Structure 1
Amino acid sequence: MASGTESDEASDTPEIYKDPDDGRQRFLLELEFIQCLANPTYIHYLAQNRYFEDEAFIGYLKYLQYWQRPDYTKFIMYPHCLFFLEQLQNANFRNAMAHPANKELAHRQQFYFWKNYRHNRLKHILPRPLPEPEAAPPVSAPPQQPVPALPPVPAATISATATAPALPPMQYANAPGSALAKNDARNSAVDRRKRKKEG
């Protein structure tokens, strides 16, 4: 009879599941999934296929927040996934990522972050140069001569130059008396052809 009571007690206690590899496979699968969240196109795919309408999946996203602890963040290669994981806790963000325009916006902002990250980081990390010491004024500087004032220009000259239209750059070459017109290779070729026909 004692053996019967022992078997009854053993059946009452639930068996605890033990991973055959001590959770290594689960760890790798969750690490791979969470790093996929760094890609806005993948989040858009999840939203398009209505994963975000499943309460179990939303619960899984809440469970995955343990990856934000320092013990686990050291394994993550794409830190943007933690930002997107935090955003996915918000229902408005989950709904917005179903639209292609929002996916493109997130992808563009991520690109600009990567493009300027090094420059922005170095701007705050590198030490700023010390200000240069101001030079002492010279002990005995010679007095400067005053610049003589220019004579006033007659009003007739100003009004004549103001009303004359300025020629566009290409018209200077064709202007009569212009040095450019004499040295222009095209004009000399035309002159040679005219002389050839006349001769």
Structure 2
Amino acid sequence: MASGQEIDDSSNNNSSPKKVYKDPDDGRQRFLLELEFVQCLANPTYIHYLAQNRYFEDEAFIGYLKYLQYWQRPEYIKYIMYPHCLYFLELLQNASFRNAMAHPANKELTHRQQFYFWKNYRNNRLKHILPRPLPEPTVAPPSNALPPLLPPTATTMAASSAPVSAPPVPSPMQYGVPSGPPLAKNDPRNAIDRRKRKKDG
């Protein structure tokens, strides 16, 4: 009789519907938390922090990173403000990248490359977006144009190969010599010279 009661209890448990957890705010809080975490991955320093604290050694956390790839779908990607986070999320699927980000030198290198990307992105993008100017059309020579030039003769070649004489270079001594008449005896410059001579003598 007891066994029949146990069977009835088990059948009642199987037939009762399982309770499914439902977010009180229809998943809004979870959506915001996951969006914030994904966008934090745009910062190489934060990825370095996760690697230093051994988050990447936890299999559950690795699975969470795989789960977060749904942010690459069009209906979710429109909420992303920092698109680099999706690039780093893709790189974090690779174990070698996760291990490399534990080293400070790799963190600095990643941060530097990200900076150069931001610095040059607009100019590089404009090179591909802006239309290039059309090449100028070549004008056909008129029918009454002059005949082509004759090949140069030996005399013209010798004249063209002769070195061109450069203008004479002034001597540096010319800059110190004053132009014009010599200095008068009562010139103050001469007076200084005379005084010097008297002291020396």
Q: Same fold (TM over 0.5)?
A: yes
1:22 corresponds in structure 2 to 26
Counterpart secondary structure, 2:172: coil
Counterpart secondary structure, 1:176: helix
Deviations 1:11-69 (A, max 9, x none): 94321111111000000000000000001011001101111111111111011011111
Cα separation, 2, equivalents of 1:195 and 1:55 = 98
For the pair 1:140 / 2:136, whether they are aligned, the reply is no
Deviations 1:138-188 (A, max 9, x none): 5334887979415857xxxxxxxxxxxxxxxxxx9x9333x3x458xxxxx
For the pair 1:176 / 2:181, whether they are aligned, the reply is no
Structure 1: stretches of 5+ with no match in the other structure: 154-171, 184-191
Structure 2: stretches of 5+ with no match in the other structure: 1-7, 164-169, 179-187, 196-201
1:71 corresponds in structure 2 to 75
| Cα distance change, pair 151–73 in 1 and its aligned pair in 2 (3 A) | closer
For the pair 1:129 / 2:133, whether they are aligned, the reply is yes
Q: Which has the larger radius of gyration?
A: 2
Cα separation, 2, equivalents of 1:11 and 1:195 = 128
| Cα distance change, pair 85–175 in 1 and its aligned pair in 2 (3 A) | same
State TM-score, norm by structure 1. Answer: 0.71
| AA partner of residue 73 (structure 1) | I
For the pair 1:114 / 2:118, whether they are aligned, the reply is yes
Counterpart secondary structure, 2:45: helix
Cα separation, 1, equivalents of 2:161 and 2:123 = 54
2:192 corresponds in structure 1 to 196
| AA partner of residue 145 (structure 2) | S
Cα separation, 1, equivalents of 2:131 and 2:64 = 44
| Cα distance change, pair 194–111 in 1 and its aligned pair in 2 (3 A) | farther
CA apart distance, 1:126:
1.3
Matched residues, number: 167
Cα separation, 1, equivalents of 2:146 and 2:48 = 73
1:85 corresponds in structure 2 to 89
1:32 corresponds in structure 2 to 36
| Cα distance change, pair 58–193 in 1 and its aligned pair in 2 (3 A) | farther
2:199 corresponds in structure 1 to none
Cα separation, 1, equivalents of 2:194 and 2:45 = 75
1:94 corresponds in structure 2 to 98
1:51 corresponds in structure 2 to 55
Cα separation, 1, equivalents of 2:191 and 2:149 = 63
Identity %: 71
| Cα distance change, pair 196–10 in 1 and its aligned pair in 2 (3 A) | farther
CA apart distance, 1:10:
8.6
Cα separation, 2, equivalents of 1:121 and 1:115 = 11
Q: CA RMSD in A?
A: 3.3
